[in-house]
Structure formats: C-alpha cells, structure tokens
Amino acid sequence: MVLVRSYHILDQDRVSLHDVGYFHRFGDMCVMRDEEVREASVGALRAAVGRLRPTSASVHENAMHDPRFYTNPEQVLRCSRPIHARLKV
C-alpha cells in the first residue's frame, strides 16, 4: 500500500486534504486506487478541535488564534468528513 497525501491551503479560511492510496497484491494484474478528499474552514476546525480534545493550558494564547494551530494535515484528517471518496480497480 502506498499513500500519497496532498495538502492545500485554498485561501486564508479553507484547507483541503487529498489522500490517494494504491494497493497491489503480488501476482494480481490490477492495482486498486482509493481516493478521498476532505475540506474544512478554519472556523469549523477550531470548533471540532475544541470538542475533540481540550486545549492544554500550556498552549500560548497567540497559538490559539493562529490558523496553523488548527489547519495542520492531521487535524484536517481527524476533524473533517470526506466530501469525495472513490475506489477504482
């Protein structure tokens, strides 16, 4: 299995995460491709992160208001739902 991840900042308020996974079983003549796209706004990520994990008191106040705190690829993956998913053989 090979995972190709592409992370895009669409504008100052939206981010997009594209995951494409390729799977090939040795001896088979086909390759499976699994594709998933997730998008979210900074506001939606901020709200989801607040619900899913409490913010540590050690996080500086400036970091709490910095979009980079909420928009890293792992946060987008955990806190948003796929808007597009497809499996191809």
Position 58 pLDDT exceeds 70: no
Neighbouring CB atoms inside 10 A of 55's CB total 11
Q: How many residues comprise the chain?
A: 89
Q: Give Cβ neighbours of residue 63 (< 8 Å, ≥ 6 apart).
A: 69
The structure tokens listed for 50 are: 């607040």
Higher confidence at residue 8 or residue 65?
A: 8
pLDDT in tens, 13-24: 888 999 999 999
Per-residue pLDDT band for 5 (boundaries 50, 70, 90) equals very high
Which has more pLDDT, 5 or 52?
5
How far, in Å, CA of 38 to CA of 81, rounded?
6
Exposed/middle/buried for 23, CB within 10 Å: 0-12, 13-18, 19+? middle
